[in-house]
Every structure is written in structure tokens, then in C-alpha cells.
Copies of this chain bind each other. A is one copy, B any other.
Amino acid sequence: MEKRVYNFSPGPAVLPLPVLEAAQRDLVSLPGVGISILEISHRSKAFDKIINDAEANLRTLLGIPDNYRVLFMQGGALFQFGVIPMNLLRDSGKSADYVVTGTWSKKAFDEAKLQGLSVNVAWDGKPTNFNRIPKQDELKLNPDAAYVYTASNETIQGVQYQTEPAFGSVPLICDMSSDILSRPIDVSKYGMIFACAQKNAGPAGVTIVIIRDDLIEKSPANLPSLVNYKVFAEGKSLLNTPPTFPIYMVKLVTDWILNDVGGLAKMASLNQSKAKLLYDEIDHSDGFYLPHAEKECRSPMNVPFRLAKTEFEEPFLKQAAERGLCELKGHRSVGGCRASIYNAMPREGVQMLADFMHDFRAKNS
């Protein structure tokens, strides 16, 4: 086998090696079926079991109540950004509140706005380049909004809600693309949760949507089937051919979290402990490494940081890559470096990065 490197990419991102190996083993022919998962009919009994198992795993891990549907959609988070207001805002006669904590919640706001719909910015982190999550009393909320929109974790800025926000009776919609399955959550606090799979839950090509029954009923009847939550839910995600292979991978990844890791509390503890390795290195670097996010909002998934001496950034990235520590370049809007250390990033990879950061500082201070 080709030697693998440590992939700190923000997404698509590293997957658990045992999951990749299982997918590889069965790729040409699923045991007991005799055809590949890439060839299987979405109407077959074998695929029925796969999609049901994926949903059951998600229900177990996240404790999803019975009055929520689990949908497997295509199009990624950007698709949801457009479709959420089509379904839940357009015909509501109301406006929607967006809490803008970074690039992704801003994009979601923009996709509603360009449709000419009534949307308000309930808070905007832009003045400090999105380095923190607002406190509850900073939000300008409309108690009669169709929904409040948040992103639990901002991949680019590395800020995360540490506790679940509450918005009274207004439905809370949350983009959990970059931290779903990384920690336990209370689904009942949300009207709708969605997450593209390619960070913590699988490969690119499928988006997990968890939506409360009453919200599904709000979809206007004149929306095309594939952008209509109600029609899509009635079709049980099989309105047309779903992305069969990505759904199969979600099943394997959630099997891994359930059986190999031991659930989301354990997963969260492993993630916190991995993130601490990097944040400690940053905090103890005497200002050599500069964190982007404020301490109380730091994401355990995405760790963006800059080097105080920017001329060291290029050699830092180059020497890291030579050690097999890859995809560490930060997004241009924040600059510097970013280590994405999702569920599947092994602790050894993070330790190796922390050690490299330590050595690099020692040599260049």
C-alpha cells in the first residue's frame, strides 16, 4: 500500500483508516450480494438495510427524537443555504434571523438574501474578523421570526458554540457540517440540523438533514420535488437515486464511532484532548504562534493560527509537508495556518504536528 500522510484538510477530510479498509475490501463485491456498492440498486433489500442502518446509527449516536426525520440529500451545505429559505421563509410572511459568526453563516445569509427574501443579521462577527461567538444578550432577535439560523462551528475561523443556544419558540436551524458527531448534542433544542458529510461523517456527496415534523409541513407545494423537504421526506430520501456510496460510507463511519470509539461522549473527550495539544503549543509559544479565535470560543475541529513572523509561514508549511503533515495552509481570509483535526484524525498525527510546531519554534525563535 502507498504510504499515507496526515491530512489536515478542512474538508473533504481524513476518514478512519479501518473504514477505508472495509470499503476497499468490499468494493468490487458486497459480501452476500455479489455486486459492488457502486452498482447496487437503491431499491434493493441490501441497500435498504444500509440506509436504514445509517439512519439508526445517527439516531442512536445523536439521540434523535421520534418527531424528527433523518434525510440524506445531495448538494452539500450550499444547497441547504438556498433551500432552507425556499421552504421555511418564502411563503411564511415572516423574516428570518441569521447569526453571522463566520464565512459559512455569512454565505447562508447571502443565499437567502439573493432570493429577495426578508432576512436580518441578528449579530455580525465581522468587525473582529469572526474571532468569537456572540453572547446571548448581544443578539438582536425578532421573537416572531420564521427561524433563527446559526453555524455551530465555523471551519475557516475556528470558532464554535460551546453551549447550545436557545431561542424560545423560534425554530433554530443549525449548520453542523464541521462538528456533527464530534460531541453529544440535544437535538430537541433544534428545529433543523444539517451537515454535509465530508468532515466528520463520510465522503463528499451526501448531506445529513435532521428536521422536526412540524417544519416539514411548511414546504410550499409549488417547489420542485428535490428542493421540497416535505416531498423529499415522504419519499424517505429515495425520491430518486440517492448517493448510494456516500450513504454507505456514513453507515461505516457511524459504525466506527459507535463500536470502535464508543459513542459521542468518548469522541468529544478524544477531540478535546487532541485539540489541547495544539492550543497548548500555541499558548505556550510566547507569541510565536498567534491563535485566531478567542479562548472561550475555540473550535476543537479547526485550529487556525498565524506565525507572528509571517516570513516563517512558508518554511513552516514546507517543512511540515516534508514530515507528512499536509494541507495546513490557512484560508486567505484568516491567513497563516489551519489544522483541521476532525474525529478521524489520529492523535498521533496531532502529536506529531504539536512536536513539529515546538521544534520549529525552537529553531526559529
Contacts and interface: CB of A to CB of B under 8 A. Distances in A.
Interface in A67-113: 74-79, 81-83, 86, 111
A171 interface: no
Interface in A169-210: 196, 198, 203-206
A38 B249 contact: yes
A337 to B, nearest CB: 15
A81 B224 contact: yes
A8 to B, nearest CB: 10
A266 to B, nearest CB: 23
Nearest to A198: B241
A225 B24 contact: no
A205 B2 contact: no
A5 interface: yes
Contacts of A241: 11-12, 76, 196, 198, 204
A1 B36 CA distance: 11
A72 to B, nearest CB: 11
A35 interface: yes
A30 B20 CA distance: 12
A244 interface: yes
Given A224-B81, A224-B111, A243-B205, A39 B27 contact: no
A114 interface: yes
B116 A222 contact: yes
Contact of A14 (B4, B39, B221): B39
A245 B74 CA distance: 14
Interface in A1-18: 1-5, 7, 9-15, 17
The size bracket of the interface on A is 35 or more
B114 A221 contact: yes
Contacts of A7: 35, 39
Contacts of A36: 15, 20
A114 B39 CA distance: 32
Interface string A304-332: 00000000000000000000101100000
Interface string A27-38: 111111111101
Contacts of A39: 7, 9, 12-15, 203
A346 interface: no
A262 B126 CA distance: 55
A60 interface: no
Contacts of A206: 205
Contact of A41 (B12, B31, B83, B223): B12
A239 interface: yes
B5 A34 contact: yes
